[in-house]
Structure 1
Amino acid sequence: MTEREKVHQETEDAIHRADEFVQTIERDMLCIDDRINAFRLKQQGYELLLVHTNSIQSADKETLVNIGEGIHVKAEFNKKNMMLVGVGLGFYLEVSINEAKEIAQKQIERLEMEIQHDLLELAKRKATLTLTNQGKQLLEKGF
């Protein structure tokens, strides 16, 4: 094998590795995107909790409660100052309305930090993808 053929083979191998790396980065970016969307969905749930706690505080003994998909049911309060808040894994805490608001606000803030972290990771992956594609183009042109 001549020196020229050897260099050509090494270049082809480098292009192939770059293609594989690009595919890995793109898969990572899709996973991060999915995670951001999941965090935003959870955030919306906690924002709804804040809205509902405010409506419960201002309601009489009865109020309409959104149970999802635009469906509301009439609910009557036995203990207006207490409510159950899901904390994950099927567990619920009975807390005061003010505590529920505090939990919701802290969760919204925590999720926002997670989203910002993932957006930064996404930007890093995008920059790496751009640089890898530029390097691949240089290899394909043969410098």
Structure 2
Amino acid sequence: MKDETLLDIAAYNYRSALKNYRIVTGDERELNTVGYLLQQSVELCIKYNLEVNWIKYASSHIIEDLLDEAEGCVVFTEEFYNFAPALTRWEAISRCIKNYKVHQKQIEQAFPLVKQFLVSNGVESQDLVYSHVSVRDISAF
């Protein structure tokens, strides 16, 4: 097994968000989990790019602050930057505030933005594809 990087974990978190979104049953906490995973994928991608460029960064989860620190070593659109506060909110609020819910429309808006961001910053697009594994394939477990 190769040494795992923050970029590998970012791709894994995106796939996990996609997997969880595909099986959402209506429980609001499920959407919060999807939002959290999307935020984490972006945060780790930024931090990976900061690290490989030898840029020290604050211990922050605020996406827009991390984007500001990473300007020049990560690629992002203005639309993505403007969406960053929502991602930050999902990480911070969804795990601390009771009855907070991420809206499905926001999640649907986030997926293509996050995917484009990850691909623009070193993640291979094939690493963001979630493949269904049948029960037969995991019968050993």
Question: Normalising by the residue count of structure 1, what TM-score does the alignment of the two structures yield?
Answer: 0.31
The structure in which a higher percent of residues are helix is: 1
TM-score where L is the length of structure 2: 0.31
* Larger strand fraction of residues: 1
Looking at CA atoms only, which structure, 1 or 2, has the larger radius of gyration?
A: 1
